[in-house]
Structure 1
Amino acid sequence: MQEGKLDDLISSLPFEVQKRVVSLLPLKEAVRTSTLSTFWRSLWFPIQLSLDFDPNPLTNEGSGQEIEQVMGMFLRSYACPEKLELNLKVLGHINKELVVKATKGVEQELHVEFFETQNVAAKTCLSLHSNPAQKSSFFGVKLLHLRSVTHLSKPLVSMLLSNCNVLESLRLVKCRELESLEVETESLQSLVVEDCSDISAIVVSAPNLISFEYHGALAQIEIKNTVSLVNVVLDLRDGPGSNEFDCEDVLPILASLKDVEVLTVSGWLLEWLCSAGVIFGRLEFQFNKLKELSCIDSVISKDKRDSLACFLNSCPSLMKLSVEIESKLNFIPSPCFHQYWHEPHLWMDFKTVKTNTSNLEQLKSVDLVGFVGKEDELLLMDLLLEKAINLNSLTLV
């Protein structure tokens, strides 16, 4: 049968049958059907529904359950398009509407994005507690991406997350009005918080958490009841934020990460701690299991070089080190600290720093990214070459 006639034949089928045909195809092949005609392309238009939504947690039980039922049907159905759009009229808010867009991903993950028709200045806190006793249409969701969680969407998000009892991966991106995040669940294995500019506190209680990534300004981070944590990223490219820097608040964060095997950290944090008098080798905790360390910063200066050398004294099992200079990052100058716990490490000359740096007997590989041959970069390279007595590989990129 000719391709044109076959297209006409399939196009004449009922809309529900066409959706069923598309749902049985592999995702890549199904997407290609959108090129056949505008009629086929309509199969990929998102389902659009309009509902009333009350953001008040004391009164929104009915509307919340209705939204949950709609999204649950969307998740369970293989005969529907891969996108769902909910236009929620916010009760009690004139001229405000909350738009929720949900998309099924290639790996059967769920991406949810929130929009408001009008900016809301109020900030919000988000608590995500799983309820294993509660069976719902979201019980099988394992991967969930949330974007732009707002003040109005917070109660809806909390309701949805409380029903994700086998959730393994959670990602929050650009949730600008989110001030705090509290996560308590046994199933979670991966958590990513990225570009949430208002966040100041994160509390995670997840015994099976393997990977934690945070990208943004320094926040108060508490990771507890976690025995499986292996990989941590503290990408603090936005600096200390609006909070006053206090070693008493920052060192407990590092102490909670002492058993990780892979760590990425911003260089300015190590510099600030050393400037305040912290000597890593003398702390009560050490990074005895750390095998891979990545340090990212906008520049390698004398203080950043020496603070990294100090931190290496707390990493006796380190096997791979990566130092990456990203010129596009903002330069974050260290303030003047007037009170010190010990004699500051950064008061020493480089010869003393070099003498006080432990031999890195396990270090086999060093990657230096973005180096241009400045004096402090060359001195750091010289230190690593001398202290990594069993080094097998040094790469300059």
Structure 2
Amino acid sequence: MEESLDFISSLPSEILLQIISLIPLKEAVKTSILSTAWRSLWSPFQVDLEIDSDYITSDEASKKLIQAMAMFLKSHNSPELWKFCKYGMVFSAIKGVQKELYLDFSVDKEMKSNLDLILEPNCSISSKHSIEITSFSSLKTLHLRSVNHHGKSLVSTLFSNCLQLESLKLEKCNGLQRIDMKANICLQSFTMMDCPDMIGITVSAPNLKSFWYRGVLPQIQLKGSPQLIDVILNLREGLGQNEFDCEDVLSLLASLKDIEILTISGWLLQWLCTAGVIFRRLEFQFSKLKELRWIGSLMDRPKRDSLACFLNIVPLLEILFVKIDQSYSSISCPIFHHYWHEPHLWMDYATVKSNASELKHLKLVKLIGFTNEEDQLLLMDFLLKKAATLNSMIVTSPENQSWRVSRIPYGQLKQMVRSYSKQIGISSANKECFFGLKEEDNNGLCPENGQCL
């Protein structure tokens, strides 16, 4: 393998460029770690723009920026890295062969800012620079990193003319507090990750199919997106500097009632139950949800019971993933002063189990990060009891060892152990039965499409 890599690395740079031009941008960039020869392909071409930062919004500044970016996008070399330098702003730009553009402002200063993105032609600019605008309009994927106060003007101008844009991703935008985006029918995917100062997100995109978010809990409004299918709410950083507003969260959940795939942080369900929400009494259900992914730092009794409560409004659920990741931050639940609340959180396990709805369509359960804790065992027992048509339950330890689970009454334990050479028994927490764990040949770490954020 090493000999093959050395041989490929010894090829002329023109051939190496041809190789990386045939693969997606994300994989192409990774070649820079292979050797010095590959790394040299990513030496940036530097563009110095002599523009005073005090006039960043002027027509002349916009003209120079647009012309420079258009020249970059029209270049025949792909993938390619340019570094743009001007007074008050430095950023790098990488374009890929599949109409991808990656902008990184991380070397610039961080300042508090908001970002308004409107996906429609910017008439004041396009009338003067129609050729340059044509270069932007063919972009399919736009990836923005560390967008800041100085960079947002360029980003807004660029976005407004990416008329065929299908995928937008923002990450590590420190200082960015709010984003208001209005997109056309082309945009199908919006991802936002690790923006610690985020307060509010408003998205209007009629053909949006996936919304993936990771970070602190902001106020999120998704307007006019009837095609939305897949949503990730990985709130691993808790509230940040924001306040918890139960009504805002319920409004968000109501807007997601027709999605088919949902990833959600366990602490949010627990807080809703503790704050007074009774899921059975809500005016909506997740009537189309087929796949649910619960993620959190631990599975304790309140989180287990709040998940059981939430399952009452997911009548057609077919697949459930529960990921317990101890590297996640532990989010402590505050004290809420309410006269009514989700009663499951104050009931014993037997009552919770008897009052919960049957999971008539649940076929597959995966417990990731299984540690044999009592509350995890009770969750297994609950799911095996309520899901009459369950085909498979797989548990995976933090060490990535996986077992297939079956519920074994005490009277059948000896017979079941004889039938499997690699099976162990764990007594259920309520001492009603054993769980038979048969070792899996392959692990069940992640959902089939691998999207855990």
1:108 aligns with 2:96: no
**Aligned position for 2:424:** none
User: What per-residue deviation string (whole Å, max 9, x for no partner) do you get for residues 170-229 of structure 1?
Assistant: 010100010001111122110110000011100000011011110001010000100110
SS in 2 for 1:138: helix
In 1: Cα distance, 2:382 partner to 2:105 partner: 50
SS in 2 for 1:313: helix
Once the two structures are TM-superposed, the CA of residue 251 in structure 1 deviates from its matched residue by 0.6
Cα 1:354–1:239 change in 2 (3 A) is same
**Aligned position for 2:323:** 324
Structure 2 unpaired stretches of 5+: 1-10, 397-453
In 2: Cα distance, 1:357 partner to 1:374 partner: 22
Question: Is the Cα contact below 8 Å between 2:279 and 2:342 reproduced in 1?
Answer: no
SS in 2 for 1:86: strand
Question: Is the Cα contact below 8 Å between 2:78 and 2:97 reproduced in 1?
Answer: no
1:27 to 18, 21, 32: 21
Question: Is the Cα contact below 8 Å between 2:197 and 2:240 reproduced in 1?
Answer: no
Once the two structures are TM-superposed, the CA of residue 71 in structure 1 deviates from its matched residue by 1.2
Once the two structures are TM-superposed, the CA of residue 60 in structure 1 deviates from its matched residue by 2.2
Cα 1:66–1:339 change in 2 (3 A) is same
**Aligned position for 2:418:** none
**Aligned position for 2:254:** 255
Compute the TM-score of the two structures, normalised by the length of structure 1.
0.86
- Letter of the structure 1 residue corresponding to residue 199 of structure 2: S
**Aligned position for 1:154:** 152
- Letter of the structure 2 residue corresponding to residue 156 of structure 1: L
In 2: Cα distance, 1:57 partner to 1:232 partner: 40
User: What per-residue deviation string (whole Å, max 9, x for no partner) do you get for residues 248-284 of structure 1?
Assistant: 1111111111111000000000000001121112100
**Aligned position for 2:359:** 360
**Aligned position for 2:286:** 287
- Letter of the structure 2 residue corresponding to residue 83 of structure 1: L
SS in 1 for 2:306: helix
Once the two structures are TM-superposed, the CA of residue 353 in structure 1 deviates from its matched residue by 1.1
**Aligned position for 1:5:** none
User: What per-residue deviation string (whole Å, max 9, x for no partner) do you get for residues 349-376 of structure 1?
Assistant: 2122111110000000000111111111
Structure 1 unpaired stretches of 5+: 1-9, 12-17, 91-97
Q: Compare 101-110 and 170-179 and name the one that shifted more.
A: 101-110
**Aligned position for 1:303:** 302
SS in 2 for 1:167: coil
Q: How does 1:206-245 map to 2 (within 5 A)?
A: 206-245=205-244
1:99 aligns with 2:90: yes
Q: Compare 337-346 and 272-281 and name the one that shifted more.
A: 337-346
**Aligned position for 2:86:** 88
1:126 aligns with 2:150: no
User: What per-residue deviation string (whole Å, max 9, x for no partner) do you get for residues 3-58 of structure 1?
Assistant: xxxxxxx99xxxxxx97x887666269999xx9998x9866532211113455688
Question: Is the Cα contact below 8 Å between 1:55 and 1:155 reproduced in 2?
Answer: no
Cα 1:387–1:74 change in 2 (3 A) is same
**Aligned position for 2:399:** none
- Letter of the structure 2 residue corresponding to residue 322 of structure 1: F
- Letter of the structure 1 residue corresponding to residue 21 of structure 2: L
Q: How does 1:49-64 map to 2 (within 5 A)?
A: 49-53=47-51, 59-64=57-62
In 2: Cα distance, 1:208 partner to 1:343 partner: 35
Compute the TM-score of the two structures, normalised by the length of structure 2.
0.76
Question: Is the Cα contact below 8 Å between 1:366 and 1:393 reproduced in 2?
Answer: yes
**Aligned position for 2:45:** 47
SS in 1 for 2:136: coil
Once the two structures are TM-superposed, the CA of residue 243 in structure 1 deviates from its matched residue by 2.0
1:172 to 151, 170, 173: 170
Q: Tell me how many residue pairs correspond in the alignment.
A: 371
**Aligned position for 2:378:** 379
- Letter of the structure 1 residue corresponding to residue 96 of structure 2: G
Q: Compare 62-71 and 223-232 and name the one that shifted more.
A: 62-71
Percent identity between the two aligned chains: 50
Once the two structures are TM-superposed, the CA of residue 115 in structure 1 deviates from its matched residue by 3.6
User: What per-residue deviation string (whole Å, max 9, x for no partner) do you get for residues 146-175 of structure 1?
Assistant: 001111111121111111111110010100
Once the two structures are TM-superposed, the CA of residue 108 in structure 1 deviates from its matched residue by 3.4
- Letter of the structure 2 residue corresponding to residue 271 of structure 1: Q
SS in 2 for 1:240: coil
Question: Is the Cα contact below 8 Å between 1:276 and 1:344 reproduced in 2?
Answer: no
Cα 1:335–1:129 change in 2 (3 A) is same
Question: Is the Cα contact below 8 Å between 2:21 and 2:79 reproduced in 1?
Answer: no
Once the two structures are TM-superposed, the CA of residue 335 in structure 1 deviates from its matched residue by 0.9
Cα 1:392–1:207 change in 2 (3 A) is same
SS in 1 for 2:350: helix
Cα 1:44–1:219 change in 2 (3 A) is closer
Once the two structures are TM-superposed, the CA of residue 339 in structure 1 deviates from its matched residue by 1.7
